Structure 1
Amino acid sequence: MHPLRAAGLAALLALGACSPTFNWREWPVAGTPLRALMPCKPESASRPVPMLGTPVELHMQACETGGMRFALAWADVGRADQVPAALAAWRVASLQTLRVPAASPDDPGLAWSVGVKGAPQAQGVQARGTDPQGQPVVMQAAYFARGTQVFQAAVYGARLDEGAREAFFAGLSLAQP
């Protein structure tokens, strides 16, 4: 086969392998050291929420594609000594939102191994539950912190695409201070 024709065929095959569903982009999260790889352009929102009895501003960025919701959320709890308790409470609240019955966020059956570049530690939680409309939903989430900022990165869906889920979590990083 002629080299130019072979190159053209290879380019066509590569284009065919690209998925228009997942349009990955590096996403810096303003006001934080977090950078993420997002499969679609996220929308932003924020609202006050009680965390450990104190109102904090919870910031969220999320988008939906391929039947999944990819979400980033963060808050500043103000004191470094409150970070572990805030992360534990957030894991509990996430499980309650999915109507996971009386689950402890430290239940080994809900844990999955996750790492976030630049985070001293991250805890992964995975669960099956129901969404607010009563439909089955699967969640995989990572909880981590830097200083007084706490973070959640999560994927939700009836089914989670393994490649998209892996790319999302592998794309999380905290810039060095």
Structure 2
Amino acid sequence: MTVVLVGCSPAYNWRDARPDGVPLRALLPCKPERADRDVPLLGPGQPAVRLHMMSCDVGETTFALGAVQLPQDGKDMQLALKQWRSASWASLKQTPKKDDLPPEGWQRTPCEIAGATISECWGGPGLNHMGRPLVAQVRWLAKGPWLVQVGVYGEALPKAAQDMYFESLRFD
């Protein structure tokens, strides 16, 4: 019943969305802005990869999706995943512990994304770009050469909207 109410809420205008060329579908609760940029996800001295991004805001909550296609059919998937996790935590002003352990307050939760060969789900605190506290729920998933990060960020995260967003994820 809750999902139905969220789906009908005037604040949410759910729509099918996918980053250009990425074999992943998602429902976003608003019209996304899109951008692409090259990022050094494979480490120093390695070529940059193209990051395809989509995001939109409903009130104080941001829904975001980013995807990269790794060279050599995802051979460097674990390295790229580790680098992306660290970069994401840094963008939230969080410092991972030694040995790639998560920052204070972050917890990994079990999850499964339809069609993904790798699914990692994390949640924890952070700070937004203005230094205000927020909560983040982040999913990293992979299939073939594609590595994807999907997240919801805000002061308070509406559970029904999070569930609808994350449960909508499907690889082709």
Normalising by the smaller structure, the TM-score range is 0.7 to 0.9
Please say if 1:146 is aligned against 2:143. yes
Aligned to 1:76: 69
Unmatched runs of 5 consecutive residues or more in structure 1 = 1-13
Q: TM-score, normalised by structure 2?
A: 0.86
Cα 1:72–1:109, aligned 2, differ >3 Å: closer, same or farther?
closer
Give me the whole-angstrom Cα distance separating, in 2, the residues matched to 1:38 and 1:106.
Answer: 30
Q: TM-score, normalised by structure 1?
A: 0.83
Please say if 1:61 is aligned against 2:51. no
- Give the count of matched residue pairs: 161
Give me the whole-angstrom Cα distance separating, in 2, the residues matched to 1:31 and 1:63.
Answer: 19
Identical amino acids, percent of aligned pairs: 35
Deviation at 1:106, TM superposition (A): 4.6
Please say if 1:132 is aligned against 2:125. no
User: 1:60 is paired with a residue of what secondary structure?
Assistant: strand
Give me the whole-angstrom Cα distance separating, in 2, the residues matched to 1:145 and 1:153.
Answer: 11
Give me the whole-angstrom Cα distance separating, in 1, the residues matched to 2:122 and 2:67.
Answer: 16
Unmatched runs of 5 consecutive residues or more in structure 2 = none
Question: Which structure has the larger Rg over C-alpha atoms?
Answer: 1
Give the counterpart letter for 2:69 in structure 1: D
Matches within 5 A, 1:1-177: 18-53=8-43, 54-79=47-72, 80-103=74-97, 106-107=101-102, 109-175=106-172
Give the counterpart letter for 2:132 in structure 1: Q
Deviation at 1:98, TM superposition (A): 0.8
Give me the whole-angstrom Cα distance separating, in 2, the residues matched to 1:103 and 1:27.
Answer: 35
Q: Structure 1, residues 12-38: CA drift from partner, whole Å, max 9, x if none?
A: xx99x9211111112233201100011
Give me the whole-angstrom Cα distance separating, in 1, the residues matched to 2:83 and 2:166.
Answer: 21
Deviation at 1:50, TM superposition (A): 0.8
Aligned CA RMSD, in angstroms, stands at 2.0
